[in-house]
Structure 1
Amino acid sequence: MFEYAPAPESRDVVDIKPSYGLFIGGEFADGTGTSLKTVNPASEEVLAEVAVASADDVDRAVRAAREAFGTWSAMPGSERAKYLFRIARIIQERSRELAVLETLDNGKPIRESRDVDLPLVAAHFFYYAGWADKLQHAGYGADPRPLGVAGQVIPWNFPLLMLAWKIAPALAAGNTVVLKPAETTPLTALLFAEICRQADLPPGVVNIVTGAGETGAALVNHPGVDKVAFTGSTEVGRLIARSVAGTGKKVTLELGGKAANIVFDDAALDQAVEGIVNGIFFNQGHVCCAGSRLLVQESIAEELLDALKRRLGTLRLGDPLDKNTDIGAINSAAQLAKIRELSDLGEAEGAERWSPVCPLPDKGFWFPPTIFTGVAQSHRIAREEVFGPVLSVLTFRTPAEAVEKANNTPFGLSAGVWTEKGSRILWMADRLRAGVVWANTFNKFDPTSPFGGYKESGYGREGGRHGLEAYLDV
């Protein structure tokens, strides 16, 4: 096996300030609340202090968004499109800076930030810029109107990409935005605020309020918010659904998942192994739609597992800023504790645990890529979202059994099917209760394609023409 020399990306392309305020009405302003520290998960180094927005701060941001709404919504779509195109181009121009900052704050490998996240972020703004003057052709009536102020709360696993998924369609439809990034990964959202100023976006169209759960709750419950968009855990999603019930607010929720990645005996084995690795070990498994349950046809289970273990032995875990790194750091100490707890439970319930030889760095939050075999459907690791690099392996004999096992979950966000038979792919996709079904691939995203789930994975769609509906009064 080749030995790789270190190939670190430079931190010098990013200027991280010691402290950050809130972005309200086109200006950075001090918060009236406390502050929190955001740390580099790979080293536990404090990167910056960030303001925690109080209820009063959230109110200021919502009022700024409301004030800007009249002008922004009345602007011709072709004019709004110019701002979105400008933002997309600036994101491309500053993509290296954004990718390094995302990796420092989140812990994901620079290869993923640079080659996956940033191109998709720009693509979403380009795509929805194209829709801004064509809303009457989106299929939602001859004269669809924006809703007003959108309150958006995003998670820490894809901080900048989730921002793009939320802000781009909202602005294209003529809404204004108050966005709260996750407390552990606020820095790229704050750099995006600078990009809004660079693009001369009218003040108040986009506002960024940082903080933790209380800040998010203040935003969701604010009477001046017309639309709530949330991506995160099912538990928080339930709280949001309860709190907005009866208020008239439009809501979309993209929540947890426990996706089945289903491999049939006629699948291209090496291709399937790559898809399994991408499905669960991409972004350290911090993916709502991760293929965390591998369902493999019994006749090839042993052969596939041998190949998968060989492949895991070649993955490189370490410094996320090293361009050779495949597995980065777990985002926080709290998330690492949850992964460890559920993995220990998997062993206690009788599943067999395996990880490749994988030295872990002394500092930071790390967990090796892990496979569990001998998993029963009743095991908690097969039912609960681990949100880490942990794969549960189950077997099946017939397509009908595969469907039954895949659907035996409270979630319904995604699934993958690996087979050479197109008819079987269609047969499976028709029966799998999942919002997205990938065929002979996994974790592939495109701004033109809608994404979202069923059951406890939430409701509503993001991306594509469908993603506009949530931001229009239809």
Structure 2
Amino acid sequence: MTVISRPGDPTRLLEPGLLVGPRWRETGTGGKREHRDPATGRVQQVYALAGADEVAEAVVAARAAQPAWRAWPIDRRRDVLLRLGALIRDRAADLAAINALEVGTPAALSYQRYTGGQTFFDYYAGWLDKATGDTVRTPGGLDLTLLEPIGVVGAILTWNHPLANIQTTVAAALAAGCAVVIKPPEQAPFAALCFGRLCAEAGVPPGVVSVLPGGPEVGDALVRHPGVDKIGFVGGPGTARRIQAAAAPTLTPLLLELGGKSASLVFADADLDRACRFALLITANSGQGCTIPTRMLVHEDVYDDVLDRLVAGLRAVEVGDPFDPAARMGPLIDAAACERVLAVIDRARRDGTATLALGGERLGAEHLGDGLAGGYFVAPTVFADVDPASELATEEIFGPVLSVLRFRTEAQAVELANASRYGLAGYVHTRDVDRALRVASALDVGNVGINGAGAPAGPFAPFGGVKQSGYGKVGGLAGLLEFTRTKNVLLAVDE
């Protein structure tokens, strides 16, 4: 097993800067920000932020560079994407260490993700000579449809899976022949900046990719810029509503991948061992993920058994330093996230809408040692007998907090699962194939996993939500088509 050690000097990996069109810069008009190690709370880097001025420059550069990138022969553009995929695998150890330093994800888990299977760049490289338009013979003519790149894409990304979020949006956009201005989150910009350097190494032409770490000012300027042809946003519905309002004057189309409050339905005939192992996903990235099954709906006949298994399984999860190979859960990203999650837990304990079955506290020196005493660790937490109308059951907590509810009938289970403003993912556990497919059809979500299958499935399948989980798709051919437009050409043919 590859062991990734904590670097003595984190600044070696956490390289600051701004990639504005073809040039790297050390300063920006958005000021500077400190980054703290999520595992220790100590400052480990100071870095520059972009502002509206850099957005304007990057968009101008993207518009200048995109026509030539679009015109590249398909095999040449394909080879660049393949090199990007290979570089991600080759630099997996460094990328995993960056993820651990800036987000707190266990490095061993990130390394497995970066080295296991195709990247989105490999996948979309394979589509370049296959995604074509149609040719139809019409009375008196020949009708052609042409797939063309949409133009310049603004990619506004969240912090929980920085490189994964880059891949799902940027790979398809580049494959389509678009130029991309990336706004990584101000809390975690370093994976995106590393990606910008990999783009140059892979042969992406200067100006085709910009990387502008920054706050809301950068996102707002990108959305409002008339030179941006589409926005891809990963984040929460509150910010998405503001983006929609800002995009309205220019009618800029949006791809929105938003939050979730995903339910896992466990029927009495389910494989309970498998269902409870699946529930341990609540610790994945410390619960900071939109598809994580944060609600577990359990049939009353097996409820007590499942609850006992959940508590035992989560109590055994190793929480610790993201660079410890044994750690399966690290800290939350920052102090604000830690305080927010603990506040949700505290409210639930006070208002009587659930029973605390496990966890509920911040982990400090007595659990983790003096070196991690200042880190943002929250224990894996389980609430039982959760009120379906409570905050625990309805709001996205974005922390390692599992809400367990009971149901009596299949219809009640589906009703509880659908009683959410979100509609990103749902999960079904049953040995009855008819029931599995029936419930999957009834769930008002964009993605369903059955008997331990997760969501998303990787680059091969379309992924996206409904309701307040957003609209549009990443992954699969649908993800590529998000960044194309169809032109119709009618050719008159003499009979």
TM range, normalised to the smaller chain? over 0.9
SS in 2 for 1:299: coil
CA distance in 1, matches of 2:194, 2:381: 35
Contact 2:15/2:193 (<8 A) preserved: no
Offset, 1:196: 1.1
CA distance in structure 2 between the partners assigned to 1:234 and 1:118 by the alignment? 32
Query: CA offsets, 1:411-444, max 9 Å, x none?
Result: 0000000011111111001100010000011534
Indicate how the Cα distance of structure 1 residues 182 and 315 shifts in structure 2: closer, same or farther if over 3 A, else same: same
Alignment of 1:100-249 (within 5 A): 100-117=97-114, 119=116, 123-136=119-132, 142-249=145-252
The Cα offsets for residues 438-457 of structure 1, whole Å up to 9 and x where unpaired, read as 00115343110111100110
Aligned AA (1:155): T
Residue 375 (structure 1) aligned with residue 375 (structure 2): no
Counterpart of 1:127, as a letter, is Y
Give TM-score scaled by structure 1 length. Answer: 0.94
| Residue of structure 1 in register with 2:342 after alignment | 340
**Correspondent of 1:448 among 437, 448, 460:** 460
Letter of the 2:396 counterpart: E
Q: 1:161 to 1:374 in 2, by over 3 A?
A: same
Give, in angstroms, the shift of residue 254 of structure 1.
Answer: 0.7
Which SS does the other structure have where 2:403 is aligned? strand
Equivalent residue for 2:139?
none
The code of the aligned residue for 2:105 comes to: K
Selected match of 2:450 from 430, 439, 443 = 439
Indicate the residue corresponding to 2:493 in structure 1.
none
Q: Which moved more, 1:128-137 or 1:430-439?
A: 128-137
CA–CA separation in structure 1 for the residues paired with 2:10 and 2:89: 15
Higher strand share: 2
Q: Is the 1:19–1:49 contact (alpha carbons within 8 Å) kept by the matching residues of 2?
A: no
Letter of the structure 1 residue corresponding to residue 245 of structure 2? R
Taking a change above 3 Å as real, the CA distance of residues 331 and 10 of structure 1, as seen in their structure-2 partners, is closer
Structure 1, 172-181 or 11-20: larger mean CA deviation: 11-20
Q: How does 1:418-437 map to 2 (within 5 A)?
A: 418-437=429-448
CA distance in 2, matches of 1:87, 1:452: 24
Structure 2 partner of 1:69: 66
* Superposition deviation, residue 10 in structure 1: 4.3
Aligned residue in 2 for 1:467? 479
Deviation at 1:18, TM superposition (A): 7.5
Shift of 1:298: 0.5
Q: Deviations over 1:131-174 (max 9, x none)?
A: 122220699x8410111100011111000110011110000001
* 3-state SS, counterpart of residue 12 of structure 2: coil
Where do 5+ consecutive residues of structure 2 fail to align?
Answer: 136-143, 487-495
CA distance in 1, matches of 2:335, 2:273: 34
TM-aligned CA distance change 1:118 to 1:62, over 3 Å? farther
**Superposition map of 1:351-430 within 5 A:** 351-355=354-358, 359-360=367-368, 361-430=372-441
User: 1:205 corresponds to which letter in structure 2?
Assistant: V
1:344-363 CA-to-partner distances (Å, cap 9, x unmatched) read 11112211113259625411
Identify the match of residue 271 of structure 1 among 274, 279, 287. Answer: 274
| Contact 2:11 2:45 (C-alpha < 8 Å) held by counterparts | no
Give unpaired runs (5+ residues) of structure 1.
1-6
Structure-2 residue corresponding to 1:3: none
* Aligned: 1:16 with 2:24: no
| 8 Å contact from structure 1 (residues 26, 197) kept in 2 | no
Counterpart in the other structure of 2:55: 58
1:67 Cα offset (Å): 0.7
Are the aligned partners of 1:13 and 1:97 in contact in 2 as well (CA < 8 Å)? no
For 1:4, the equivalent position in structure 2 comes to: none
CA distance in 2, matches of 1:181, 1:443: 26
Count of matched residue positions in the alignment of Structure 1 and Structure 2: 465
Q: Does the 8 Å CA contact 2:132/2:146 hold for their aligned counterparts?
A: yes
Give the secondary-structure state (helix, strand or coil) at the position aligned to 1:11.
coil
Match of 1:252 among 255, 259, 267: 255
Q: CA deviation at 1:461?
A: 0.7
> In 1, Cα distance between the equivalents of 2:229 and 2:275?
44
1:75-114 to 2 correspondence within 5 Å?
Answer: 75-114=72-111
Separation (CA, whole Å) in 1 of partners of 2:134 and 2:484 = 10
The aligned counterpart of 2:293 is 291
For residues 473 and 152 of structure 2, the distance between their equivalents in structure 1, rounded to whole angstroms, comes to 19
Change (3 A) 1:95 1:15: farther
SS at match of 1:245: helix
Query: Deviation digits for residues 324-361 of structure 1, max 9, x if unmatched?
Result: 00110101111111111111111122111132596254
Shift of 1:19: 6.0
- The superposition leaves residues 265-297 of structure 1 with CA deviations (integer Å, 9 ceiling, x where unpaired) of 11111111110112x221111001111110000
Q: Given the superposition, is the C-alpha separation of residues 79 and 252 from structure 1 closer, same or farther in structure 2, using an over 3 Å criterion?
A: same
For residues 60-98 of structure 1, give each alpha carbon's deviation from its aligned partner in whole angstroms, at most 9, with x where no partner exists. 111111110110111222221111011111111111111
Which segment drifts farther, 156-165 or 217-226? 217-226
| Equivalent position amino acid for 2:199 in 1 | C
In structure 1, give the amino acid aligned to 2:112: D
Secondary structure at the counterpart of residue 243 of structure 2: helix
Contact 2:133 2:147 in 1 (8 A): no
Instruction: Report the TM-score, using the length of structure 2 for normalisation.
Output: 0.90
* Residue identity matched to 2:84: I
Mapped contact 1:176–1:205 kept (Cα < 8 A): yes
Are the aligned partners of 2:4 and 2:97 in contact in 1 as well (CA < 8 Å)?
A: no
Separation in structure 2 between the aligned mates of residue 470 and residue 437 of structure 1, nearest angstrom: 21
Rg (Cα) greater in structure: 2
Distance 2:213 2:201 in 1: 20
CA distance in 2, matches of 1:443, 1:433: 17
Distance in 2 between residues matched to 1:18 and 1:260, nearest whole Å: 36
